[in-house]
Structure 1
Amino acid sequence: MSALRYLLNVITGGSGEKISHQRIAGLISARLHSHLLVRRRALVILSRIRLMTIVGMVLFLAGILMDVASFPPETSSSLALFRGISALLLLGLMVVTRQKDTLRDAYVALGIFFAINLVFQGLYQPLILPQFVESIDGLTSASYAIFPFLVVVCIAIFPLTFKETFLTLILIFTSELLILSLMPSQVNPMPGLGILLSLMGASMLCAFSSISQLSYMLSLVEQASVDSLTNCYSRNSGEEILDVQFRIAQRQKADLAVVFLDIDNFKIINDQFGHEAGDRILAEAAASMKRNLRDSDVLIRWGGEEFVMLLPNTNAAGAGKAIRRMRTNGFGLRPDGQPVTASIGITDIRSVGTKSWTDLVDQADEEMYRVKTHGKNNVSVVRIANTSIAS
């Protein structure tokens, strides 16, 4: 583990002691990535895919003129057909990904992008294989010779985990081995094997760059999105997550519940015991909430002593059961030894009049206020019974 920490220290340029096990796991796999990091990474990958499709289309079409000047008509016409089809496929990929914003969409787009380029490589090499393998005598043959390297270099522009990078390289090298196996028997295979070894070296550097990007992005997202006191999402980042989750729930016709929680009589704690005691209460309450939420749930510090919880694939009734368990486990103790209590409002996406995530938060806030005005330390669920659940 110390060697891995040293390597990550080199990658990030930071202090090795600050690299947690969770950070290491986040660089290896996306399974533990936060909702916000997943969102940001998906947008970055998709935007760079669109940029690369534009660059690819221009290069594919410009290469037709080079082929016409360098190869016989029969060969150049076949290459022009392959280039034209590849350019059209890239155009289609750019159009299809314009409205996409999920990590799954990013994975699909990434796979299609590399598949288009690898299929093109597999189609052109049998046509120019003797010249390609034996010698490079001009700009055209040189461009075809470096094409496999250009495909590998594309990995470096995407923020990918070790697992994602490894799977992408497996796809590329499996294709390269398949292409080498199609070489005519009379062609000396050694130059092709040399190219393959060179690709392996280049791929290691590209993988290093890709994982370094992810590490840097992970640090930035953590610093910008997490409230330092409670270790919850800040309001700005929470609003972005709410927007994404609301649109996903609408698109998939799935349940989505929002819980608005306000710690009771918090001002008295600050006034009587000081702000340090108040900060400790907030941190302990947030930690208690997190322990009682699922990995897929989101906890946001909305402001002051207010928290918003987002529960995907859960309706208001299910959220009510989860909150009852949370209240049973408690939110910690006040400085005077009394238990910390909270007023809580719950709503879901099925509620009447819910057209946006702001409607959900407003409805949950109204239910919380209903509890505040009727004695506090209780729960109110919208559109279920509109009555408080006894503490």
Structure 2
Amino acid sequence: MDGDLSLAQVHDLIQPRGHSPVIQRRRAALIVSRARIVAGVFSILTPLWIAIDMYLFAWPEWGYLAALRIAASIAFGALALYYRGGEGMKQAWAALAWLLSVPTLFFIASHPMVNQFDPDSPAAAIAAGYAFLPFVMCAGLSVFPITALEGIVFATPLLLAHLTAGVYGSAIFPFNSYLGAMWLLLLLSSVATLAAMSQLHFLMALVNQSSHDKLTGAYARRIGEEMLNLQFGNARRNKRPLSLVFVDLDDFKKVNDRFGHEEGDRVLRDAAQSLLKGLRQGDLVIRWGGEEFLIVMPDTDTPGALTAIRRLRADGLGVRPDGKPQTASIGIAEAIAEAPESSTRLVEIADHRMYVAKQAGKDCICTGEEAAPVTREELEPA
């Protein structure tokens, strides 16, 4: 993995809107699982402190704190045992917000109890654990792979809770030292967010390395199938068009047979790079197998896909070792207009049309079962 950061990667570490669907799903699953693990630990440890409260406080104060702890333990337990949340980032944000809101509310509700102690008493040293709760939670942000913007959003309520405690007055942090405590909390939040961003960068590097075909730079088939299923489901739910383009390089076996596999690899790389450069950022290029590629085009109907193919073919798919242009036979299918029952069936339709184009003489496109293939001449710009 390359240690250098591109501007695009820095942008993705600052805010989450540019993350690919694969990154979003992996990150969401990791955040939810870690939030549930932490919540499970807290659900066990939180009520154990009731014995300390009974020692520090008189009745009914310790009873009030015990009720708060039991409520917090139930909230943590519910998150740990029952929250699933799917694989979307909204569900991941909800899990993290749930995890952080419980101790934040507990801190605000319990903090006035600390003020009854003499700051120099032994009991005050034990009760200081209440005052330091926002520091612990801010440090806990480092456990999650989040962006800088998310770190700010989730740390802000903790900072406000600490500030609110300062308005109440604190025996642990007298007001004249409160600015120093706030500075320390801000510093801790910043360091925790940087650590979380480092986790995110490592996760993104691992996912990108495992999800892309090393030779061509296109998505590998395993990840590609997952992303196609996701896009197909989104198109069906939102009733938005989704075009699938099946590309098969013509006479590729002859390149390997006549010029060797190194030249064959070069032809594959050049063709894949031509596809990647000629498409929109939201389109997906998947190496389906050998010399076959799938192009997934969200929010694109068949005429729109044809327009994109016109542009791609005008730019070319690279040059064969004998100096001739590399051509391809292409089949196009559309998810909403043709209403296949699954993404697998959509691939089968596009694959069949690619074979129709191949049988029609290669270097052309088929867009329908009965439609005549669209030849290169018909796609040449006027």
Q: For this structure pair, what is the TM-score category when the shorter chain's length is used for normalisation?
A: 0.7 to 0.9
Which among 154, 174, 199 is matched to residue 185 of structure 2? Answer: 199
Alignment of 1:248-267 (within 5 A): 248-267=234-253
- For 1:289, the equivalent position in structure 2 comes to 275
Seen in structure 2, the aligned counterparts of structure 1 residues 119 and 250 have a Cα distance that, compared at 3 Å, is farther
Seen in structure 2, the aligned counterparts of structure 1 residues 309 and 129 have a Cα distance that, compared at 3 Å, is farther
User: 1:175-200 deviations in whole A, cap 9, x for unaligned?
Assistant: 32233223379x83245444434333
- For 1:365, the equivalent position in structure 2 comes to 351
The CA RMSD over aligned residues, in Å, is 3.1
Work out the CA distance in 1 between the residues paired with 2:149 and 2:87: 21
Tell me, yes or no, if the aligned pair for 1:133 and 1:192 is still in contact at 8 Å: no
Seen in structure 2, the aligned counterparts of structure 1 residues 23 and 339 have a Cα distance that, compared at 3 Å, is same
Alignment of 1:113-192 (within 5 A): 113-131=99-117, 137=123, 141-183=127-169, 188-190=174-176, 192=178
User: 1:42-90 deviations in whole A, cap 9, x for unaligned?
Assistant: 1111111222222232233333444344323322333233334434444
Q: What is the DSSP-based 3-state SS (H/G/I as helix, E as strand, rest coil) of the residue aligned with 1:379?
A: strand
- For 1:388, the equivalent position in structure 2 comes to 373
Comparing 176-185 and 105-114, the one that deviates more: 176-185
- For 2:25, the equivalent position in structure 1 comes to 39
- For 1:20, the equivalent position in structure 2 comes to 6
Q: What is the DSSP-based 3-state SS (H/G/I as helix, E as strand, rest coil) of the residue aligned with 2:53?
A: helix
Seen in structure 2, the aligned counterparts of structure 1 residues 81 and 278 have a Cα distance that, compared at 3 Å, is same
Seen in structure 2, the aligned counterparts of structure 1 residues 256 and 15 have a Cα distance that, compared at 3 Å, is closer
- For 1:274, the equivalent position in structure 2 comes to 260
Seen in structure 2, the aligned counterparts of structure 1 residues 181 and 251 have a Cα distance that, compared at 3 Å, is farther
**Cα distance, 1:350 vs structure 2:** 2.4
Seen in structure 2, the aligned counterparts of structure 1 residues 69 and 39 have a Cα distance that, compared at 3 Å, is same
2:110 partner letter: Y
1:369 partner letter: Y
1:58 aligns with 2:41: no
Work out the CA distance in 1 between the residues paired with 2:74 and 2:241: 39
Work out the CA distance in 2 between the residues paired with 1:328 and 1:354: 31
Work out the CA distance in 2 between the residues paired with 1:123 and 1:269: 74
Q: What is the DSSP-based 3-state SS (H/G/I as helix, E as strand, rest coil) of the residue aligned with 2:49?
A: helix
Comparing 356-365 and 127-136, the one that deviates more: 127-136
- For 1:29, the equivalent position in structure 2 comes to 15
What are structure 1's unaligned runs of at least 5 residues? 1-13
1:378 aligns with 2:343: no
- For 2:323, the equivalent position in structure 1 comes to 337
User: 1:306-363 deviations in whole A, cap 9, x for unaligned?
Assistant: 1111222333443333223322332222233332211112223326563333222222
1:343 partner letter: S
Which among 283, 287, 307 is matched to residue 293 of structure 2? Answer: 307
**Cα distance, 1:158 vs structure 2:** 0.5
What are structure 2's unaligned runs of at least 5 residues? 377-382
Work out the CA distance in 1 between the residues paired with 2:114 and 2:78: 28
2:142 partner letter: A
Tell me, yes or no, if the aligned pair for 2:134 and 2:161 is still in contact at 8 Å: no
Comparing 168-177 and 265-274, the one that deviates more: 168-177
Tell me, yes or no, if the aligned pair for 2:353 and 2:368 is still in contact at 8 Å: yes
Tell me, yes or no, if the aligned pair for 2:14 and 2:148 is still in contact at 8 Å: yes
User: 1:229-285 deviations in whole A, cap 9, x for unaligned?
Assistant: 211111122122223333333444443332211111111222223322222222222
Seen in structure 2, the aligned counterparts of structure 1 residues 345 and 206 have a Cα distance that, compared at 3 Å, is same
Tell me, yes or no, if the aligned pair for 2:239 and 2:336 is still in contact at 8 Å: no
Work out the CA distance in 2 between the residues paired with 1:227 and 1:200: 42
- For 1:10, the equivalent position in structure 2 comes to none
- For 1:323, the equivalent position in structure 2 comes to 309
Seen in structure 2, the aligned counterparts of structure 1 residues 327 and 129 have a Cα distance that, compared at 3 Å, is farther
Alignment of 1:103-114 (within 5 A): 103-114=89-100
**Cα distance, 1:103 vs structure 2:** 1.9
Q: What is the DSSP-based 3-state SS (H/G/I as helix, E as strand, rest coil) of the residue aligned with 1:260?
A: strand
Work out the CA distance in 2 between the residues paired with 1:103 and 1:301: 27
Seen in structure 2, the aligned counterparts of structure 1 residues 82 and 133 have a Cα distance that, compared at 3 Å, is farther
1:82 partner letter: L
User: 1:191-245 deviations in whole A, cap 9, x for unaligned?
Assistant: 5444434333433432232122122212212221222221111112212222333
2:129 partner letter: S
Tell me, yes or no, if the aligned pair for 1:330 and 1:339 is still in contact at 8 Å: yes
Tell me, yes or no, if the aligned pair for 1:264 and 1:376 is still in contact at 8 Å: yes
- For 1:7, the equivalent position in structure 2 comes to none
Tell me, yes or no, if the aligned pair for 1:132 and 1:141 is still in contact at 8 Å: no
Seen in structure 2, the aligned counterparts of structure 1 residues 97 and 345 have a Cα distance that, compared at 3 Å, is farther
Taking structure 2 as the reference length, what is the TM-score of the superposition? 0.85
2:341 partner letter: K
